[in-house]
Homo-oligomer: A and B are copies of this chain.
Amino acid sequence: MAYKDEQLSEEKVFKDPVHRYIHVKDQVIWDLIGTREFQRLRRIKQLGTSFLTFHGAEHSRFNHSLGVYEIVRRILFNFENRPNWNNDERLLCLCAALLHDLGHGPFSHSFEKVFKLDHEDFTKKIVLGDTEINKILTRVGKGFAQDVADVINKTYENKLVVSLISSQIDADRMDYLQRDAYFTGVSYGHFDMERILRVMRPMEDQVVIKQTGMHAVEDYIMSRYQMYWQVYFHPVTRSAEVILSKILHRAKHLYEQHYQFKQKPTHFLSFFAESVDLEDYLRLDESIVLYYFQAWLEEADPVLRDLCERFINRRLFKYIEFNPNQQMTEWMELYKLFQAIDIDPEYYLVVDSSSDLPYDFYRPGEEEERLPIHLLQPKNDELKELSRQSDIVEAISGKKRTDHKLYFPLDVLEQLPADRPEKARIFEILFG
């Protein structure tokens, strides 16, 4: 296929605040960016509900996808002519990098949990299905779309290729840490990516890091650690996430109860029925979701209406530290007290545990984990796993630190009459 190597007559660039410029020379990449499935990522925020905590975090997955592509492009530029690297797989890597998040829907985390979806399935469906994306990939060559799907799915034969996109130090993470730091404005998330790219070396089945780059990698791991606890697991973001999930739960529940919606949830029907096809999935972006949430402000059901109002106008739940496993008695008492004052605890008394969130920091060896980071020793080309070389990484790896919080509508509780005995007791349990 001549298309495979087809180059644009002049390199095109996108101005990017994180990587300065994103460079495109391949016609295939240019065409993929122009598809409706890829443009749709503009309508899905990279950080879901985080913009309600960090007002700068309004950037989309479109942004991030270009960034991951650019990082892989730079890695491969360094790999050219190195041993263990076959440049024939260059375009495959670039396409997989660009498209790896294609299957994300609006507010993925909550949607996936409530409606039992998996964005990786949808990525595969978009790449292999009847889509503009698939047409372009197929023009590259027979089997190319399948190869792209396999790389994203981590089942591609050459694990070196897979590791560029999915390992403990892949282009995906390097982009999102820097990008999310940039848009939130936090001072974490910075590390010397240019140096890391320079010390990356292709090996038979993975990308490894020269030992001399260990400190840069430590810095990257620390960025991850800080970003998870300071940004991704931020308790206010989780409050918004809790409300969002409960809206979806409530809407589904109402649908199952044959509730008559004023605004018929057309776009949601196949989600409620748990039989979402690709076209339904692609139609549901965040503007659609926000349209419904605003429409539902006028629904008769008080729970759905209230939860939507909270989400749209950012009237979030408050929270306390609370571990239901260790505080079972309080938990049960609170549950009953909420029932007694007619606040449905299913929707208004919610425990959220941060380890549910789809992020992890460095945990080599755990099941289903991404590939660990290996350091290439100078003299003998031996590989050593990072956490065995680095005290700092060792200190934070393997420790699963779950953070439990209890979320509830403090505003409602405060408005209870002062003489209601439940009120006093609830405040006593919550605030001691």
4 more A-B contacts (CB under 8 A) besides A17-B184, A190-B190, A395-B395?
A16-B55, A34-B314, A186-B192, A391-B401
Q: A222-B392, A294-B283 are in contact. Are A183 and B17 (CB under 8 A)?
A: yes
Alpha-carbon separation in the docked complex, A42 to B313 (Å): 10
Name A391-422 residues within 8 Å CB distance of B.
Answer: 391-392, 394-396, 399, 401
User: Is A339 engaged at the interface, CB distance under 8 Å to the other chain?
Assistant: no
Interface string of A271-291 (1 = CB under 8 A from B): 000000000000101111111
Bound form: Cα–Cα A289–B43 in Å: 12
Contact A17 B56 (CB under 8 A): yes
Q: Which residues of B contact A182 (CB under 8 A)?
A: 17
Q: Mark A222-241, 1 if CB is under 8 A from B, else 0.
A: 10011001100000000000
The answer to whether A58 and B60 touch across the interface, beta carbons within 8 angstroms, is yes
Q: Which residues of A contact B (CB under 8 A)?
A: 13-18, 20-21, 34-36, 39, 42-43, 51, 54-56, 58-60, 62-63, 66, 182-188, 190-192, 194-195, 198, 215-216, 218-219, 222, 225-226, 229-230, 283, 285-291, 294, 312-315, 391-392, 394-396, 399, 401
- Residues of B near A21 (CB, < 8 A) are 194-195, 198
Docked complex Cα distance between A287 and B391 (Å):
41
Q: Within the assembled complex, what's the spacing in Å between the Cα atoms of A229 and B179? A: 26
Contacts of A230 in B (CB 8 A): 215
CA distance A396 to B396 in the complex (A): 11
20 A/B residue pairs, CB under 8 Å, sorted by A: A15-B54, A16-B56, A18-B185, A20-B185, A20-B194, A34-B314, A39-B312, A42-B58, A55-B63, A186-B192, A187-B190, A187-B191, A187-B192, A187-B216, A190-B190, A219-B226, A287-B294, A391-B396, A392-B396, A395-B395
CA distance in complex: A312, B38 (Å):
11
Contact across chains for B42 and A51 when beta carbons are under 8 A apart: yes
- Residues of the B chain whose Cβ atoms lie less than 8 Å from the Cβ of A291: 287-288, 291
Nearest CB in chain B: distance from A200 CB, A: 14
Bound-state Cα–Cα, A117 to B190, Å? 40
